[in-house]
Amino acid sequence: MAAHYAPWSGRSDHAPARVAVEFNHLYRVYVGGGEVEAVVSGRLKHHATSRSELPAVGDWVVVRHRPEEGRATIVHVLPRRSRFSRKVAGGVTDEQVVAANVDVVFLVMALDGDFSLRRLERYLLLSRDSGAASVVLLTKPDLCPDPAAPVAEVAGVAGELPVHVLNPRSGDGVDVIRAYVASGRTCALLGSSGVGKSTIVNRLVGADVQRTRAVRDADSKGRHTTTHRELVPVPGGGLLLDTPGMRELQLWDVGDAVEQTFEDVERHAATCRFSDCRHRDEPRCGVKSAVAEGLLPAARLDSYLAFQGELAHLARQQDQRAQIDEKRRGRTGAKALRQSLRLKGR
């Protein structure tokens, strides 16, 4: 961070800060050993071509800080070393940064009615592309008649990633993850509503700093207690980033994460007759043969194909947006040129 801030270091009214809270385009930042409210400068908003270029929780930023006013203005977002991103909810083609500059992403899933291997695959795709280490946390083992079976399924999907079982309400197993939140490290908790993210924060902090609510018994669906993203200091010097449960988790650019998350599918794909096999109707497909022989669950192939289709659709949307943005920049440049010529002709 210090190297990226160097160009700003000579300005007495500017300071490095870290975004601690984001709520409806209002921010709270850690700066100079304290916290202040902050807003984004008009210039930064104007020049941002994507939502991802605006501050997110965890970002290191440059602020114009006047302590006597008790507020700050965010004028620049410093480069991120990691980012957990998703496509914004709805039909807009844009990137939303959920968490930035995170060392460890905790993917939290409950062993009750919330349990879904397909959703976990989606989280794994995004977390593996984030640049942060990933750890799977399985909560509420007391609500599962046979926890060993789903834990084994998760281990099969997670591959080499650590998988821990804990009960946030009783505190069992929470100490296992305390070592991850060491001094100087930032960890993010991601998962559905009601899986115990805020309870984990309270356990690690040692106080009820985050509100919690019970889930509905009928369907194990959580109620949104956490309404905004927030960095919470943990005794020992670490930081926990608590996030609201996400109703939608649409993929963004996941790079090579598909190959990592579906290593089992890719391994069998190496035996396909055609190097460009799509594992659908092609003859002598190694992946389809593995499914037929019981070496690969059919659900894994179905999920793999669904993600490939989703990513192909996203790529087309991104291309269309890039073309629209290019035309918009061209019109803006032409308008500026006409205005310049008019001024010179006066």
Strands 71-77 and 60-66: antiparallel
Give residues with Cβ within 8 angstroms of 118, minimum separation 6. Answer: 299, 303
pLDDT for res 220: 45
Amino acid, single-letter form, for residue 155: A
**CATH class as words, domain 262-346:** mainly alpha
Residue entry with tokens 């104007």 = 46
Q: Are 97 and 56 in contact (CB under 8 A)?
A: yes
First to last CA, the chain: 48
CA-based nearest residue to 311, from 129, 43, 65: 129
CATH superfamily of 83-242: P-loop containing nucleotide triphosphate hydrolases (3.40.50.300)
Residue entry with tokens 């929470």 = 174
Helix (H) / strand (E) element for 96: namely: strand 95-100
The sign one gets for the Cα dihedral 204, 208, 210, 212 is positive
Domain ranges of the chain: 2-77, 83-242, 262-346
> How many Cβ atoms from other residues are within 10 Å of residue 28's Cβ?
20
- DSSP code at position 259: H
Q: In 3-state terms, what secondary structure has residue 23?
A: strand
Q: Are 225 and 198 in contact (CB under 8 A)?
A: yes
- Retrieve residue 181's tokens: 């939140």
Distance CA(82)–CA(321), nearest Å, equals 24
Amino acid, single-letter form, for residue 64: R
Burial of 267 (0-12, 13-18, 19+ CB in 10 A): middle
Residue entry with tokens 């160009």 = 7
Distance CA(261)–CA(267), nearest Å, equals 12
Q: Give the pTM.
A: 0.75
pLDDT for res 143: 92
Burial of 46 (0-12, 13-18, 19+ CB in 10 A): exposed
Distance CA(257)–CA(261), nearest Å, equals 6
The sign one gets for the Cα dihedral 108, 113, 119, 124 is positive
pLDDT for res 227: 56
Distance CA(166)–CA(309), nearest Å, equals 35
> Which stretches within the chain are classed as H helix?
2-5, 42-47, 117-128, 148-158, 174-178, 197-205, 257-261, 263-269, 286-292, 298-345
- Retrieve residue 216's tokens: 């509905």
Amino acid, single-letter form, for residue 307: F
Given 3.30.390.30, 3.40.50.280, 1.10.3720.10, 2.40.50.140, which CATH number is that of 2-77? 2.40.50.140
pLDDT tens digit at each of 346 positions of the chain:
778 888 888 787 899 999 999 887 789 999 987 899 999 999 998 888 888 899 999 999 999 987 777 789 999 999 999 988 877 666 666 778 888 999 999 999 999 988 989 889 888 888 888 889 999 999 999 999 999 999 999 999 998 999 999 999 998 999 888 889 988 899 999 988 889 888 999 999 887 766 544 544 444 444 445 457 889 999 988 999 988 755 556 665 666 677 778 888 989 999 999 988 989 888 999 999 999 999 999 988 988 888 888 777 666 766 665 555 566 555 555 555 566 656 665 5
